[in-house]
Chains A and B, each alone.
Chain A
């Protein structure tokens, strides 16, 4: 009994339940993606699932197309979001948080419903649902994820550095390109990752925005688990593993993950 009390009073053991939880519900499930990806429905080892993927030009094209869409979305969000974050961070509003909050507020409405409303907006203006609608909808859904981390880094930036640069004779362009832009790079990285990762893996938005005309890689994965039945699960796991590799590669890109620039800082 006293051993148990010792264990409880040694506070480092308090993390154990969560560690166990993480191993069981995070690590093991990820290992299972590997397991299923490299096995037949019967459980034997195979690389057939990957061979099948690389021999199905439709599937490969979908992957490339999805990455292109995610890339374009990210670039548009960056081009639209950086100036917005910059203006918000530099302007002397009486209540600077209010503006930032206004950009986050739409995210409290269910994103599927917002997406459906966007589709309705397109109907009203007589615009066709296709690639344009897809890009618009994606940018619309993820723009706040770009603005917020950039805004955060710009806000926390030491303003005296700008003044120092001005005192030392830098003109406006130089102050921006040599001081402000380099200092906001961590925020840009976070923004890029926070927009690219969900857009490359999205699976519901594309269907709704294009009325099933365009299939993205996420939908391909979803379908192999949904309509495909058990026979397709291993193939779906292989596709998931490819997605996992893309995500892992992207997350190496990010440096500020542990800080408040992520969704955790949105409140």
Chain B
């Protein structure tokens, strides 16, 4: 072996060692980063895990383990606690009912109102558009408590008694801006000539809307609807101030009232465990679906 080539091979090995050292460093960094993320996730999920675990025991007191059983799930579905021989709080079911009804109504109204508004906004002059966009952003910026109190004052001022209708209006108030924002990008991406072309080819405005505009806007409307649904179901602050005292409760206000009384209705544990599992499964499916679509595109 010549002198030259020996030096070269030595250089190679030192370069290799350097590369090894580097990859080891990279590995340590990646593992460290991953560990940090998982640690945060563990803390984030600990309370939820707790709800899940204690949905499988019968104890009325949250955090008190009295043996594994499916009793609470049974109670939740039958509405009757067979051990204590009492009905499960009927207000819980009323609260579930109102939560769902209000969410569906509010999301539907918000989607219609917001989609129309987005189409209108898109066709406006920029000054008017800016003004309305600002108004549209107020309910998103305003914290729950201010939206709730301002609407509370409005209903008091107008002498409207608070109940289902006022809660529904309030939910439409904070849901619609998000629908506008999710429909808007679809409009800007759409070819503006398509609608005009449909009109020129003899379609009535209604038909052009149905056959040309709506199919383009649909994805935005759907994601706006789902977002509105989630916001409505999750809301506490606004509902609290607009529900009045006629006994109308959503799940959020029901839990709050329950917690203030001291005890939490034990059937809430299986209820939210099931909700969480459902959403988890849905998200996993959505992800698999999205990945498949991505692979197809490739």
Chain A positions near chain B (C-beta within 8 angstroms): 8-19, 21-23, 25-30, 32-33, 36, 80, 83-84, 87-88, 91, 95, 97-99, 101-103, 105-114, 116-118, 120-121, 123-124, 140, 143-144, 197-198, 200-204, 207-208, 218, 221-222, 225, 233, 236-237, 240, 243-244, 247, 251, 257-258, 262-264, 267
Contact = CB atoms under 8 A, between A and B. Distances in A.
A111 B33 contact: no
A218 B237 CA distance: 11
B62 interface: yes
A108 B230 contact: yes
A10 B199 CA distance: 13
Among A11, A33, A91, A105: residue with most chain B CB under 10 A = A11
Interface stretch (B12-20, B79-87, B271-279): B271-279
B44 A29 contact: no
Determine the main DSSP class of A at the interface with B: helix
Chain B interface size range: 35 or more
B135 A27 contact: yes
A203 B173 contact: no
Contacts of A108: 230, 234, 275-276, 279
Nearest to B233: A110
B124 interface: yes
A243 B120 contact: no
A16 B276 CA distance: 39
A14 B227 CA distance: 22
A112 B259 contact: yes
A208 to B, nearest CB: 6
10 contacts: A11-B119, A84-B40, A87-B33, A97-B287, A110-B234, A111-B236, A112-B252, A201-B143, A233-B156, A264-B178
B256 A112 contact: yes
Given A9-B205, A83-B36, A120 B146 contact: no
A251 B226 CA distance: 26
A11 B209 CA distance: 11
Interface stretch (B2-10, B70-78, B147-155): B147-155
A203 B145 contact: yes
Contacts of A9: 205
A262 B119 CA distance: 22
Interface in B56-101: 62-63
B216 interface: no
Contacts of B46: 121
